[in-house]
Amino acid sequence: KAGVTQTPRYLIKTRGQQVTLSCSPISGHRSVSWYQQTPGQGLQFLFEYFSETQRNKGNFPGRFSGRQFSNSRSEMNVSTLELGDSALYLCASSLSTNANTGELFFGEGSRLTVL
Amino acid sequence: AQKITQTQPGMFVQEKEAVTLDCTYDTSDPSYGLFWYKQPSSGEMIFLIYQGSYDQQNATEGRYSLNFQKARKSANLVISASQLGDSAMYFCAMRDGGRGGNKLTFGTGTQLKVEL
């Protein structure tokens, strides 16, 4: 059974550009959530999608957006990139959205460097 | 607000020994889930073990076990028979109920180094 797939794995952008990251969840999983990991702030929740609807959103500016398609694949977009957006972006998928059931599996991440 | 505390920034253990990584949590919701993940230097977040707040027994997965003490709000990870490949950063995380969905709150992590 294939795991969570994130593309691209590595990318370099310059300030002011935009970037789109993709996440394909485990087959059958309908929940996809995104996290940002930086040395200074640690792991922070960005947003979660379930059945194409955003269920929850973290405390990030509007430059960070996402969407989910009918096949559960998700994309996140960061516009007008800033140096501070350099981070590892992790996607996680889950079968359930129930807090008391179900594991959450992560992909290998997309490492974004903003110059 | 939910909070996860990992008080051990770094730990050393000898190969084949057992090691306990500490995690305490704070939530007012009776329904929640607790997770441990391993993150090697490659960056991938590897799922290790999960414990639901209503689970009666402590979770175990191979060499990993979760010492869940609900009254003390602790969820320590025990790794038995440590191996060199266990050297990595370990994160404790919580998913709480209500409208939290799959939003995880992470601790700051513990860097584990397994030595010969």
Query: How does pLDDT run across A8-24, given as a tens digit for each residue?
Result: 999 999 999 999 999 99
- Contact assessment for residue B23 and residue B48, using Cβ atoms and an 8 Å cutoff: no
Q: Considering only CB atoms, which chain A residues are within 8 Å of B102?
A: 31, 33, 48, 50, 55-56, 92, 94, 97, 104
- In 3D, which of B106, B84, B87 has the Cα closest to residue B95? B106
CA distances (Å), origin A71, targets A33, A40, A55, A74, B104: 15, 34, 17, 9, 23
Block means of pLDDT (10 residues each) for chain B, 116 residues, are 92 97 94 93 92 92 97 97 97 80 91 97
Does residue B30 sit at the A interface (CB-CB below 8 Å)?
Answer: no
Q: Cβ–Cβ of A99/B91 closer than 8 Å? A: no
Q: In the prediction, which pLDDT does A98 show? A: 63
For testing the chain B interface, which of A104, A110, A111 should be mutated: the one with the most B CBs within 10 Å? A104
| C-alpha to C-alpha distance for A4 and B34, rounded to whole angstroms | 20
- In 3D, which of B22, B50, B53, B92 has the Cα closest to residue A43? B92
Which residue stretches of chain A have pLDDT < 50? none
| C-alpha to C-alpha distance for B76 and B92, rounded to whole angstroms | 9
